[in-house]
Amino acid sequence: MTQGSTAIAFRLNGSDVETVVRNDQTLLELLRGSFGLTGARESCGQGVCGACTVEVDGMPVSSCLYWAVQLDGTDVTTSESLARDGTLDPLQQAFVDSGAFQCGFCTPGMIMMCRSLLRENPDPSDEEIRRWLSGSICRCGAYPEILAAVHAAAATLREQVAPAGRATPDPSHLGAQS
């Protein structure tokens, strides 16, 4: 290990990893450069566009602003891990079915933000979705389709009824922490 670097260990998309990071390296640089995970994208580099959104310990973060050295002991989830056994996550499928993207650049970040919203509120209104996504920018203007996709995914997830008859999202689709 060289001066200006730190050894860290964390979970990445369900797998334990250990690596050495530069002390000035961002999570986005680590994901893209060291792990080849390109779903999180750099657009603004200032944490205001949402294109680089991933989850750290279940919370959405702007990976362009999050220091990689802070990852030690955390659990990181990226858009690449959402599909299971060749089946898209309900939110991913809803984005496809609703045509909630044009160029697709913002889509992984939007999906990561929407996952967090649906964990907090399984039946959000249009206004709640807009407010939640206020830090995620779609330059192509696919917002009506994004709203439709979030509502469709929410309905699909609510169909997964808990044993007591209470409709809740299946935590395996939303990355709930166990």
Whole-angstrom distance, CA of residue 178 vs CA of residue 49: 30
By the 8 A CB rule, do 104 and 95 touch?
no
Which among 103, 105, 102, 113 has a CA at the least distance from the CA of 150?
Answer: 113
The pLDDT of residue 38 is above 80: yes
Query: Residue 56's pLDDT band (boundaries 50, 70, 90)?
Result: very high
Locate CATH 1.10.150.120 in the chain: 90-173
Tokens of 62: 């702007």
pLDDT of residue 174: 52
One-letter amino acid for residue 50 of the chain: G
Interval 135-162 mean pLDDT: 88
- Which stretches of 41-156 are assigned E, i.e. beta strand? 53-56, 59-62, 75-77
Q: Which residue has the higher pLDDT, 177 or 29?
A: 29
Read off the pTM. Answer: 0.85
Over the chain, what is the mean pLDDT? Answer: 90
pLDDT of residue 73: 98
The pLDDT of residue 164 is above 90: no
Any idea which residue has 């996952």 for tokens?
A: 115
The pLDDT of residue 161 is above 70: no
CATH architecture of 90-173: Orthogonal Bundle (1.10)
Beta bridge partners, 9, equal 18
pLDDT of residue 171: 47
How far, CA to CA in Å, does 32 sit from each of 21, 42, 47, 51?
13, 10, 17, 13
By the 8 A CB rule, do 17 and 81 touch?
no
Q: Kindly report, residue by residue over 82-139, the tens digit of the pLDDT.
A: 999 999 999 999 999 999 988 889 999 999 999 999 999 999 999 999 999 998 988 8
How far, CA to CA in Å, does 76 sit from each of 48, 58, 60, 112?
20, 8, 10, 12
The pLDDT of residue 173 is above 60: no
Fold of the 5-79 domain: Ubiquitin-like (UB roll) (3.10.20)
- Which stretches of 13-66 are assigned E, i.e. beta strand? 15-22, 53-56, 59-62
Whole-angstrom distance, CA of residue 122 vs CA of residue 137: 22
Whole-angstrom distance, CA of residue 170 vs CA of residue 158: 8
Locate CATH 3.10.20.30 in the chain: 5-79
By the 8 A CB rule, do 113 and 132 touch?
yes
